[in-house]
Structure 1
Amino acid sequence: MTLHWDRATASVQPPLAVVDLDAFDANAADLVRRASGKPIRVASKSVRCRTLLARALSRPGFAGVMAYAVPEARWLVASGFEDVYVAYPSVDRAALAALAADAHQAAQVTLTVDSLEHVHFLAALDRPHGLRVALDVDASLRLGRLHLGVRRSPLREPADAAALARAASAAGLSVVGLMFYDAQIAGLPDSSPAVRMMKKRSADSLGRRRGEVVAAVRAVADLEFVNGGGTGSLHVTGPDPAVTELAAGSGLYGPTLFDGYDDFTPQPAAAFALPVVRHPGPGFVTAFGGGYVASGPPGWSRVPAPFGRAEVKLVKSEGVGEVQTPLQGNGVRDLGLGDNVWFRYAKAGEMCERFDVLHLVSGDHLVETVPTYRGEGKNFG
């Protein structure tokens, strides 16, 4: 695969980033296959490129955007995207006020709330009436005092969700959705029998509670969507009748954190190349740049991984560096100055924060060069 990328980008000066369209499309088809007929809302943070967001949404099985910031959602709607759900709470008063003042955008964007604090914050805007909101409900697994999952929403029980929906409606907000993100299932590879057992227990527990929460909120609000799952749990969440749509984005690019799942294997669709700039000694080369470490708990799982050449590995005492990355192994022997070394990123869209453009390739051909969010001068945090 990397030989094709080398040929397709032979005229491009590295560092550079590619997205392989054949792999991207194959991954999109696999996501749809695992979704059990439910539409997939595309997670924009995992793509961060308008051209590729549109490519995914042009395929049957995808509908709507899951954005991460209100200014981003407004920009996407102004660009022609529809049904944009900002899946994280916002306290950006200027962006929220601008959204509330624009009837078209307010009709296309849904905001997230998970507490009375959020409701009161939105209600204090000049024109909050008619703003669309969805409740983010905690989807973690609780075993006594043990919390398995991400720390995000405090909203968990059916009665509390219904009470918040009533309060939001009373404040003039339109409650149109629910969200359940099962990070302990969707974002965790099947690395051991204990993990597999935990994921099954979590899915069973969440399935029961999710149905109860949905029923309680539907009794007080006219819901348009119930969102659940992620790239790693589409096949688990899709069959749940309480869920009306799923969410995914990382699976389109196939980053390294999605290696090691039992039920699917995404193709590596996104990667970046660094040029060799020196030979510090026998069995070593140094590449330019490379310190693109992904967010999350610190560790080697968050570091870019050399890809496409056997027996090329990072130097553990140095890792990936701010302006240079040393590599070692038998596979570096035939690397000369200016040759590309390819890396896969640990996460998906975060890679785009390092590059202004993505080179879209198919086979040996460079199809198109398109801007990332960064390349369009957009930084949403």
Structure 2
Amino acid sequence: MPQSLIGLRKAELDTPVLCLDRQRFERNIRVMLETVHAGGKAWRPHAKGHKTPAIAWREIGEGAAGITCAKVGEAEVFAAAGIHNILIANVIAGERKAERLAALCRWSSPIICCDHYAQAEPIAASCRRLGVTCRVLVDINIGMNRTGIRPGTDALELGQAIDKLDGLELIGIMGYEGHLLKVADPGEKLRQIREAIGILELSRDSFQNSGLRCDIVSAGGTGSVAITSQCPAVTELQAGGGVFGDPMYVQQCGLEGVEPALTVLATVVSRPALDRAVLDAGRKTTNPDIQAPVVKDHPDAEVVSLSAEHCTLKLGPQSQELRIGDQVELIVGYADFTTPLHDEFYVFHGDRLEAIWPIWARGRLQ
């Protein structure tokens, strides 16, 4: 049996590794929960950015009502870990997925979303074959123009059609204001998000006035959590990325109150020039596409490029003392694109390794 790494200091570990600062992470959970609860809403944080049951259980332990997933495969992993209040906030199509979803309903209680009858009817048929019922939200387009049925008559008619299908149980609606997370002007962002959520409010009223259940109105991204949590019609928020305090949410979306908790520990492997250092952590370790990583504790060092295996830093005068073999931490810019590159979170209390959490839903793309 291999020896445990628990108790080692960061300097004793091989690199690169994905590191989670437990104290910051737990504070971020509380910030997100308090923000959502201040608006009288339930918190159903999205798990696509961590894919890890250990993290989901900590969110639930702090007061989350359940979790949100992006794929049936993710939901299967979290259900196997004992988490059953799961929203799959992504439309599902194809016979194989319908059969897997119905099988999942035999031992768990997922909620799905639909924006077309062609999704709902095959899922209902699979559920009937297994003698189960699956809960459903109608996915409504509130301006993002990705998935989501048109609000108004189309959404109402889909809700009515789903309500008549044996094997499905209509319980509400959802929408995502993701196109508004990065609106720069705070006043304009507030106005536009309220307007988008207002579409959900009108849809809720339409459903209820027609005798349809609308117990859940689900919305909310991390970059809009402070605003969406104050919108009266919303009952739950899916905002999940804030637990890592990603710089993307702070710098591009104006998220407040969180601290960066996720880093990649790397090693300086080359010093080809006084103002340049090369690390052993490239794009296979951290993805820079939406937000570049930030060099921790070296304010005048900057990430200038990432290739497959290497990260090149431009060094200012204060960081030019870095030597080959020194360790450097990179604050992950956007966890959703970096977590899937790793098998485990190395969880630290201060400088000591406290736990290793497997990223069990990594690669569960189906």
Change in Cα spacing, 1:174 to 1:272, as seen in structure 2 (3 Å) is same
Supply the AA of the counterpart residue of 1:98: R
Q: Distance in 1 between matches of 2:96 and 2:18?
A: 34
Aligned residues: 350
1:143 matched to which residue of 2? Answer: none
Out of 104, 107, 110, the residue aligned to residue 106 of structure 2 is: 104
1:178 matched to which residue of 2? Answer: 173
2:190 matched to which residue of 1? Answer: 200
Change in Cα spacing, 1:138 to 1:126, as seen in structure 2 (3 Å) is closer
Answer with 329-338 or 71-80: which moved more: 329-338
**1:88 aligns to what SS in structure 2?**
strand
Report the Cα offset of residue 342 of structure 1.
1.5
1:23 matched to which residue of 2? Answer: 24
Q: Percent identity?
A: 22
2:84 matched to which residue of 1? Answer: 82
Report the Cα offset of residue 236 of structure 1.
1.2
1:144 matched to which residue of 2? Answer: none
Task: Quote the RMSD (CA, aligned, Å).
Answer: 2.3
1:323 matched to which residue of 2? Answer: 309
Q: Distance in 1 between matches of 2:104 and 2:338?
A: 32
Matched, 1:379 2:364: yes
Which structure 2 residues correspond to residues 199-238 of structure 1 after superposition, within 5 A? 199-218=189-208, 219-238=210-229
Q: Deviations over 1:211-238 (max 9, x none)?
A: 1101112333223321121212222122
**2:348 aligns to what SS in structure 1?**
strand
Out of 45, 48, 57, the residue aligned to residue 54 of structure 1 is: 57
TM-score normalised to structure 2 length: 0.88
Out of 336, 339, 344, the residue aligned to residue 326 of structure 2 is: 339
Which structure 2 residues correspond to residues 79-158 of structure 1 after superposition, within 5 A? 79-105=81-107, 108-123=109-124, 125=126, 127=128, 130-140=133-143, 150-158=144-152
Q: Distance in 1 between matches of 2:28 and 2:104?
A: 36
Matched, 1:304 2:305: no
Answer with 286-295 or 243-252: which moved more: 286-295
Matched, 1:289 2:289: no
Report the Cα offset of residue 378 of structure 1.
4.5
Q: Distance in 1 between matches of 2:88 and 2:137?
A: 9
Change in Cα spacing, 1:224 to 1:78, as seen in structure 2 (3 Å) is farther
State whether residues 360 and 370 of structure 1, in contact with CA within 8 Å, keep that contact through their aligned partners in structure 2. yes
State whether residues 294 and 332 of structure 2, in contact with CA within 8 Å, keep that contact through their aligned partners in structure 1. yes
State whether residues 86 and 110 of structure 1, in contact with CA within 8 Å, keep that contact through their aligned partners in structure 2. yes
Report the Cα offset of residue 200 of structure 1.
2.4
2:338 matched to which residue of 1? Answer: 351
Q: Distance in 2 between matches of 1:336 and 1:74?
A: 46
**2:146 aligns to what SS in structure 1?**
coil
**1:277 aligns to what SS in structure 2?**
strand
Q: Deviations over 1:139-191 (max 9, x none)?
A: 22xxxxxxxxx332342323222110111122322112311211133x32x64
State whether residues 41 and 63 of structure 1, in contact with CA within 8 Å, keep that contact through their aligned partners in structure 2. yes
**1:58 aligns to what SS in structure 2?**
helix
Q: Distance in 2 between matches of 1:116 and 1:241?
A: 29
Q: Distance in 2 between matches of 1:24 and 1:237?
A: 22
Out of 239, 251, 256, the residue aligned to residue 242 of structure 2 is: 251
TM-score normalised to structure 1 length: 0.84
Q: Deviations over 1:73-108 (max 9, x none)?
A: 122112200211100012253242133145533x51
State whether residues 46 and 249 of structure 1, in contact with CA within 8 Å, keep that contact through their aligned partners in structure 2. yes
Q: Distance in 1 between matches of 2:287 and 2:211?
A: 41
Q: Distance in 2 between matches of 1:277 and 1:270?
A: 22
Which stretches in structure 1 are left out of the alignment for 5+ residues? 1-6, 141-149
Report the Cα offset of residue 268 of structure 1.
0.4
Q: Deviations over 1:29-79 (max 9, x none)?
A: 11122112311101010222111111111102x111101111221221122
State whether residues 294 and 303 of structure 1, in contact with CA within 8 Å, keep that contact through their aligned partners in structure 2. yes
Q: Distance in 1 between matches of 2:32 and 2:152?
A: 30
1:241 matched to which residue of 2? Answer: 232
Change in Cα spacing, 1:378 to 1:215, as seen in structure 2 (3 Å) is same
Matched, 1:279 2:264: no
Supply the AA of the counterpart residue of 2:311: T
Matched, 1:369 2:360: no
Change in Cα spacing, 1:305 to 1:262, as seen in structure 2 (3 Å) is closer
